[in-house]
Amino acid sequence: GAGVSQSPSNKVTEKGKDVELRCDPISGHTALYWYRQSLGQGLEFLIYFQGNSAPDKSGLPSDRFSAERTGGSVSTLTIQRTQQEDSAVYLCASSFVTHEFYGYTFGSGTRLTVV
Amino acid sequence: EDQVTQSPEALRLQEGESSSLNCSYTVSGLRGLFWYRQDPGKGPEFLFTLYSAGEEKEKERLKATLTKKESFLHITAPKPEDSATYLCAVQPNMGSNFGNEKLTFGTGTRLTIIP
């Protein structure tokens, strides 16, 4: 597609439930990133994929968070046993990996609300 | 630890009133400094990458400049459509290609242009 697509755009879930967030990157972009944006906070790095591998998972807040990427394309971020502090906008971005940087292209995000 | 501090948090300007946004940073070797624009409910949109002190880049009414400790985003004769949150981010120089490492973002400056 023309841009990075994320689904769902909004998700309300009960505390303790599992959720899956999906990201479709721009075709041909080898790098994929997940960030989290909480109210009043800067974007917080979660995980980075190069192809299907995740060289940097350092931002995942706890073992309740996991992510995978298949076929060098679609990625899924899973949050198990959701807590209220998980409420945030989850943003996915993709980019070419090259010696120059043309900027991430971000999706519009998934707004997760845990009640 | 890489850090980015943006000021002011919010700025209200009359249409046509020029001003500057500040981004102060500390990073262990700068690979690139990035400016993004974020509209409500949308993901950030890439504006500029700056690589070294003294560099300047322009796009329409925006000009970004870089020193060894800070970057400025100058807005000349702004219009209401320039209203948005402007985010600054840094990427450390880890010796690999661009797009291989996470960005550290500031919390942004919320700019409002009053007609």
pLDDT tens by residue, A43-65: 999 999 988 988 888 899 999 99
Task: Give B54-73 pLDDT, tens digit per residue.
Answer: 999 999 999 999 999 999 99
Residue B100 pLDDT exceeds 80: no
pLDDT score, position A55: 83
Residue B53 pLDDT exceeds 60: yes
What percentage of chain A's residues is helix, strand, coil (to nearest 5)? Answer: 5, 50, 45
Residues A87, A32: Cα–Cα separation, whole Å: 22
In a mutational test of the B interface, the residue from A101, A102, A111 whose CB has the highest number of chain B CBs within 10 Å is A101
Task: Give A77-98 pLDDT, tens digit per residue.
Answer: 999 999 999 999 999 999 887 6
pLDDT score, position B50: 94
pLDDT score, position A2: 76
**Is there a contact between B99 and A107 if contact means CB atoms under 8 Å apart?**
no
CB B113 within 8 A of CB B83: yes
Q: Does A74 touch chain B (CB under 8 A)?
A: no
Residues A45, A35: Cα–Cα separation, whole Å: 5
Counted across chains A and B, CB pairs separated by less than 8 A come out at: 71
Residue B46: closest CA among B8, B83, B89: B89
Residue type, B82: D
Mean of the per-residue pLDDT values of chain B: 93
What residues of chain B lie within 8 A of the CB of A41, using their CB? 107
**A100 vs B26, more confident:** B26
By DSSP bridging, strand B10-14 and strand B109-114 are parallel
Per DSSP (E only), the strands in B15-61 are 19-26, 30-38, 45-50, 56-59
Q: H or E segment at B113? A: strand B109-114
CB B31 within 8 A of CB B100: no
User: For residue A26, what pLDDT band results from cuts at 50, 70 and 90?
Assistant: very high
**Looking at chain A, which residue has its C-alpha nearest residue B43?**
A108
